[in-house]
Structure formats: structure tokens, C-alpha cells
Amino acid sequence: MPYTLSHTVVALPFLLSAKRKVPIAGIAVGSMSPDALYLVALTPTGSPANTLPGIYLFCFICSLLVCLIWYIFIEKPTLEFLNLPQRRWRLGGNSLVLLSLAVLFGTSCHLLWDASSHIYGAFVINSEWWQQEFFSLPLYKWNQYSSGILGLIALFLWYLYSQVKRRHKPYRGKLAIGLLIYSICIALFIFLANFIHASQQISDYAVRSSIGLISGSVAAMCIYASVLYLQNRVRNKL
């Protein structure tokens, strides 16, 4: 897929059917972990996930750390801001095993999809079928672009569906503060991604802006959660 966020669509079937039994965040984070360095570098770069040790030492460990931060600190304020229900999945002995499996599943889905949608993918390299051209574009590129677009559409439709289901429930987030923080962070990271790497072509702007969008959103989640935490601390002391 051309867009990291699209990979999280693999978590949707579990979100819609598994109720509270599956750590959805583990699947979602794991599915994006091979592209994690993109979000740090703010541009496409090499990934240690291309090797087996990289999958375990980088994707697995980093994903577990991110999931722990998510469940302990970020989940509640983020889901309240997005007006999404909390699944009440809690960390524990057996749940850590399930979380680990969810992370590995998400990572594997990402790598399998990339194998048939990128020029360096194993399926593309070892099969001439994916390299056939259709309207002057190789089939693996059609797979890459179409799956990325369809993934984003599926995520958008799921979000609309969730909002319709919750239309009668009160909104518990801090909308004004959240919009301000998210707007500033996203705009800043998009600017930095293109300024630092001196984007010149439209394709450069498109790719780095999309990466900046995700990086800015992650930064905004952390800042928004921190602001609410500090507000609650001050309120409790008064």
C-alpha cells in the first residue's frame, strides 16, 4: 500500500466481530510498524523490517512499547476526542501474550501486502505476473495504489458508521483544544517534512505530506493526552 495508515484496515474485521477479545491496537500498530522509520525521518527510508531479525528486534519490540503507552496513557483521551467507544481491553498476564500475537499478525499482514505491491517485494521479484503492464502501469503498482485508496475509504466508512451508532451519546472530548492541537501539529509536521527534505516535485510533496500527517497526528495524540492529564491534576488540587 502507498499509505501507511491504509494498512490498519486489517484490524477492521476484528474490531467489528471480536468484541473485546482482541487487542485491536496491537494489530493496528503492528500493521504500521514496518514503516515506523518513515514517521521519524518524515520521508521514505530504509526499514529493518526487511530482515527477519528486524521484524523481531524492531517491529515487535517497538510495537509493544507503543501499545503499552497507548493503553496506559493515550487511549482514553484519544477515543473520547474522536468520539469512539473504548473497548475496555486491559493489560494482564494472558493479555500480553494476545497482544504479542496481535502485533505479529499486523506486522505479517503489512509485509505480505508489500510483497505484492512494491518492486522489491518477494512476490513481485519472483513472479512475472505482477510485473505485467496494464495501461502502462505494472500490476503491482495497480495493487499498491488501489489497495491504499480502498483501505482509506474503508476506514472512513467505518468511522462514519461508528458516528451514526453513537449519535445519541454525549460527546466527552475537548473539541476546541483537540482541534487546535491537532491542527498545529499536523501543519507543523507537514511543513517540516517538506522543508527538511527540500521537496520539489509534486510527488515529493504528496508522499512527505502524507507522512507528516501521520507523524503530526501521533504527536498531537500525546500532547492532547498530556494537556488533559495536567488539567485533571490541577482540577484535583483545587
pLDDT tens digits, residue range 172-210? 999 999 999 999 999 999 999 999 999 999 989 999 999
**Burial label, 49 (beta-carbon count in 10 A; 0-12, 13-18, 19+):** buried
- Contact indicator for 105, 38 with CB cutoff of 8 Å: no
pLDDT in tens, 57-97: 889 999 999 999 999 999 999 999 999 988 766 766 678 89
Stretch among 44-48, 134-138, 231-235 having the lowest mean pLDDT: 44-48
pLDDT > 90? residue 33 = yes
- Please state, for a pLDDT cut of 90, what percent of the chain lies above it: 64
Give pTM, 2 decimals: 0.90
- Average the pLDDT over 27-49 and give the result: 89
Among candidate residues 16, 19, 3, the one with its CA nearest the CA of residue 217: 3
Please name the amino acid found at residue 108: S
pLDDT > 80? residue 51 = no
Distance from the first to the final alpha carbon of the chain? 50
Residue 50 pLDDT: 64
Output phi, psi for 92, to 5 deg: -170, -165
- Average the pLDDT over 214-235 and give the result: 95
Q: Where are the alpha helices (DSSP H) in the chain?
A: 12-17, 24-32, 36-41, 52-54, 61-69, 75-81, 93-115, 122-125, 139-165, 175-196, 202-237
